Amino acid sequence: MSEMYFVLTGQIGYAINALQMKSTGSFYKIGRRQKGRQLICDNYVVNKRKSKFIYLALEECECFALSAKYMDNVIFPRNLEIEAELRSACHMYYKFNIFNPMMQFRTNMIADLNKKKKYEKVIDLKNPNLPDEFFKHKAMT
């Protein structure tokens, strides 16, 4: 992420990549919605991390952006004392309010998909316990 966003009005959705959702035609599943004033993508910009989720504007939003370059070249050199505090605060907010709930949502979604599996028996490729009929080949005539 190269920018963090200060959302003033509107609704934002956090989604995970869900390529198996062929029935709905979408490539993501929204796991969390937030409305009103908020700061998004701050952990990625301040701590130089890659984004793990998809961020969507679910309705028209009014916001402004602050680039990572501006943070690194202007804000942090002038305010060295707040850099460590800001990094820590962004990480803690992200971990407890975004990452943990989204990982729980992902776990629940995977459990639901596993309940809907098409095959009765899944073969483990590392230790295949295949029936004997599988190895009996018919001669071609």
**What is the per-residue pLDDT for 139?**
52
**What is the per-residue pLDDT for 43?**
77
Give the residue among 44, 59, 65 at the shortest CA–CA distance from 13.
59
Distant-in-sequence contacts of 94-102, Cβ < 8 A, 24+ apart = 94/42, 94/43, 98/14, 98/32, 98/43, 98/53, 99/52, 101/31, 101/32, 102/14, 102/16, 102/31, 102/32, 102/52, 102/53
Give the residue among 36, 34, 18, 27 at the shortest CA–CA distance from 94.
34
Residue 141 pLDDT class (50, 70, 90 cuts): very low
pLDDT exceeds cutoff 50 at 120: no
Q: Is the dihedral of CA 110, 115, 118, 124 positive or negative?
A: positive
Distant-in-sequence contacts of 70-73, Cβ < 8 A, 24+ apart = 71/4, 71/45, 71/46
pLDDT exceeds cutoff 60 at 95: yes
**What is the per-residue pLDDT for 55?**
85
For 2-56, the pLDDT digits (tens) are 888 888 898 988 888 766 555 556 678 888 888 888 878 877 778 888 888 888 8
Domains of the chain and CATH, by start = 3-114 (2.60.120.10)
pLDDT exceeds cutoff 70 at 132: no
- Please tell me the distance from the alpha carbon of residue 78 to that of residue 68, in angstroms, as a whole number: 15
**What is the per-residue pLDDT for 29?**
82
- The DSSP 8-state label assigned to residue 134 in this structure reads G
